[in-house]
A = this chain, B = another copy of it.
């Protein structure tokens, strides 16, 4: 932990800096993987499965039987939890479907926007220790609500060539159309380029390691869109004198357990709460199964005492955290002052894990300071907004002169003529 009391503003810009990621030059490696997938399709993916995941897989596509049997491999309790989470996530994301508002800008000129779905989307779910079925919920539910026709999912197989049943169950439950056993940069290449089994998609979503992140960036060269740039997960907690150190510590640790590169920041205006949260964090840390990750993450974490909540908020806006917890009595007052954050948790009972799993908000959020210029994933991420306009003859008569003058001033006389020819 890096502990700092009442830091001068001059050093804030140092304190908000993320550790520079040692990102190797991966472009060449990624380009080779894309080439290989383009040339050999499914066979390339089968070979990569052997090479990178030590898995022998005959069919890249998960069979109907595998998906059906996943239902028997997970507990009823977990199924019920997934269902409840799905209900809340659906309710919140459905509220994001906009009404069409037709605006008559001047008489006879009507303009509006309509949502159209991005027809084909791909979801990437990483392998590793934790089966991230919650991310399947967060990406497949808005995709299905938006009406995407093709929602495919790629995830690496385990050494026996299987996919975790919680991922398969959730995928089916949330309308994923096809699941494929492939991971890493090659899965991203397959979704960008298409193979015999895997359809190419227009937008790719989901987290991953540095190879996946680099491959998503590279996929943009193939006219594929991606959800957002990525970095390690972060939480920033602001606590006043009524905050509860046990809760604050638990929230900080729930971020720290993600990985050794997780970012954890604690700001307080109350020295007692500040000191107790530090103690409590060290105490709870010892009891965690993933405490090796958490211990590493805490080494670079900042615990900072401020002399006012306004200062703490200003610091938070400069940091632009992925998750922001306001463990404040008077949190309502501070909402308008929040300028940069991915998702905000208000009050002592709004723990980050509520939003990670089941409250209804999305957990795919901007990290690494990108909360300054990016939104998290929402229904909007799965649609385009198309503008429509209809001018009546009267509308063009009202607007024509304006267009003609502007077009002429820009030296674009064919633009002018498109109006003149209609008005003559």
Contacts and interface: CB of A to CB of B under 8 A. Distances in A.
A349 B399 CA distance: 11
A221 B357 CA distance: 31
A210 interface: no
Given A389-B350, A390-B350, A357 B290 contact: no
A386 B220 CA distance: 25
B250 A391 contact: no
A236 interface: no
Given A118-B372, A257-B414, A355-B387, 18 more contacts: A80-B402, A111-B359, A111-B360, A116-B338, A131-B410, A202-B372, A223-B368, A247-B418, A251-B418, A257-B412, A289-B411, A290-B414, A345-B389, A346-B388, A351-B396, A353-B418, A356-B415, A358-B406
Contacts of A2: none
Copies of this chain held together in the complex: 2
B166 A409 contact: yes
Summarize A's interface: helix, strand, loop or mixed. mixed
B92 A111 contact: yes
Interface string A351-385: 11111111111100010111111111010100111
A403 interface: yes
A372 B119 contact: yes
Contacts of A335: 114, 388
Contact of A289 (B356, B361, B390, B413): B413
Contacts of A203: 373
Interface stretch (A8-16, A98-106, A151-159, A269-277): A98-106
- The range of chain A's interface size is 35 or more
A246 interface: yes
A252 to B, nearest CB: 9
A344 interface: yes
Contacts of A256: 414
A247 B413 CA distance: 14
